[in-house]
Amino acid sequence: MSPRSGSLALRLILLLLLVALPAVAQAGNLHLIEALPNGFAIYRSGKPDQEDLEKYHSLGIQEIAVLSGNADKHELRYRDLVPDLQVVYDEKQNVKKLPNAAFLDWFDSWVEAARRSGTKIAIRCNCGCHRTGRLAAYYQMKWQSLTYEDAIILMNKHGRRMGFYPGLKDQVRRLQERIERERLQPAGAPR
């Protein structure tokens, strides 16, 4: 094999990896964030395939927030596999921008209601890494009192290609600051 053909073969292998790895990373990635004795559970996931949706059903996941705005291609497309699953949010969030206060207020209300009622819920984007990881970190800092550092460790543990979005750590830091401000505010005070 000549050096030129070896180099071409290596480039071809790298190209195939670049094409195939994102598809592999986007399916599944289902992880439990927290479960409570009353039946409440919150999961994080990437975009589900049919097998993942069957797993959602077997786990009893009842509501999902889709942070990539593509529930029509997954949860709604295979509605027969998850007849009890309700898509409660389906908008594409920007991984480079912090979620706005209105979304975070909605998320907090949704989580609070699910925790009270014992509902199993999930959050997902495409790979379950960046947008989902950021929101999982927010949940863990707010509801589980994890430190910023511990939330980052878990975000990175369940994420892939995290280095592509170095700004996520700063976003999680800003989410932590929001949580701290809320804790200092008297009940009923405007945010």
pLDDT band for position 16 (cuts 50, 70, 90): very low
pLDDT confidence of residue 165: 82
Look up tokens 């409660």; give the residue: 88
Domain that holds residue 102: 27-184
DSSP 8-state symbol, 73: G
Residues 91-114: tens digit of each pLDDT = 999 999 999 999 999 999 999 999
In a domain, 114, yes or no: yes
pLDDT band for position 20 (cuts 50, 70, 90): very low
Contact in structure between 87 and 75 (CB atoms under 8 Å):
yes
pLDDT band for position 164 (cuts 50, 70, 90): confident
CATH number at residue 167: 3.90.190.10
Count of domains observed in the chain: 1
- Which long-range CB contacts under 8 A does 102-111 form with residues at least 24 apart? 104/138, 104/175, 104/178, 105/191, 107/65, 107/135, 107/138, 108/142, 110/63, 110/65, 111/42, 111/139, 111/143
The answer to whether residue 19 scores a pLDDT higher than 70 is no
In a domain, 133, yes or no: yes
17-21, 72-76, 164-168: range with lowest mean pLDDT: 17-21
In a domain, 103, yes or no: yes
In a domain, 82, yes or no: yes
The answer to whether residue 1 scores a pLDDT higher than 60 is no
In a domain, 14, yes or no: no
In a domain, 84, yes or no: yes
